[in-house]
Amino acid sequence: MRMLLLAVGCAASLSANAENFSVNIPQLQDEGKQVVMKLVSTLGGELKAAKEEGGAIAAINVCNTKAQPLTESVSEGSGWIVERTSLKLRNPNNAPDDWEKAVLEKFESQTQQGANIKKLGYSQVLVDEQGRKVFRMMKAIPVADQCLACHGKQIKPELEERIQTLYPEDKATGFSAGDLRGAFTLKKYL
C-alpha cells in the first residue's frame, strides 16, 4: 500500500497517482471527533441504562447485542466508516488492520511515556490499494472506573462466566483505570 502522510493539524495539498487534491485536515479531524462523540454518547447511554437496570451482566449483553448495530448506525448517519479496535480484543471481529495496529502501538508507547490518553489521536491521508484517497483517524479510548467491572483485574465470577460464554477468545481484561483500552477508528473516502 502506498501511503501519504500529512502533518496532523494542518491543511495540505498532495500529489497522488499524478492527481492533485486538497485536504482540509482540521475540518476532517473536527468531523471525526463529532462522530466519535456521537458514538460515545449513544453507546455510553445504552451501557449506563443497562447497568443501572440490570448490573454489569446487562451491560455486557448490550455490548454483545447492541454495540455493533449502534456503531453501524452512527457510521451510516455520518458518512464515515466507524469502528472500535484494540490490542487486547474482546471480539475478534474488531481486530486491527496493520495501520491500526501500528497506531495502537504508538498510543501504547506514548501512554507509557506519560501522555494523556484522553488527548491521544492520530490521523493520516492514505491512498488505498484501489487508488482511492482516504482520511484515516484514530482516537484513543481510556479505561474509566466504570469499565473495570468487565475489563478490570478482579471480575466477579458470574460476570466472568458470562463474558467467556459470549466471547470465548476474550483478551480484554486485566486493565486498570487510566490504561489504554483501545481506539475508535474512522475512515472517510475523499
Can you tell me whether residue 15 is helix, strand or coil? strand
Q: What is the pTM of this model?
A: 0.86
**Contact status, residue 26 vs residue 9, Cβ threshold 8 Å:** yes
Q: Quick check: 9 pLDDT over 50?
A: no
Can you tell me whether residue 127 is helix, strand or coil? strand
Q: What tens digit of pLDDT does each residue of 73-92 get?
A: 999 999 999 999 999 999 99
Q: What tens digit of pLDDT does each residue of 135-176 get?
A: 999 999 999 999 999 999 999 999 999 999 999 999 999 999
Q: Which of 9, 29, 13 is nearest to 133 (CA)?
A: 13
User: Mean pLDDT across the stretch 83-109?
Assistant: 97
**Contact status, residue 138 vs residue 122, Cβ threshold 8 Å:** yes
Q: Which of 182, 143, 183, 136 is nearest to 32 (CA)?
A: 136
List of E strands, 69-129: 81-85, 121-127
Q: What is the pLDDT of residue 21?
A: 58
176 vs 22 pLDDT, higher one: 176
**Which neighbouring-strand residues pair with 187?**
81, 136
Question: How far, in Å, CA of 138 to CA of 100, rounded?
Answer: 8
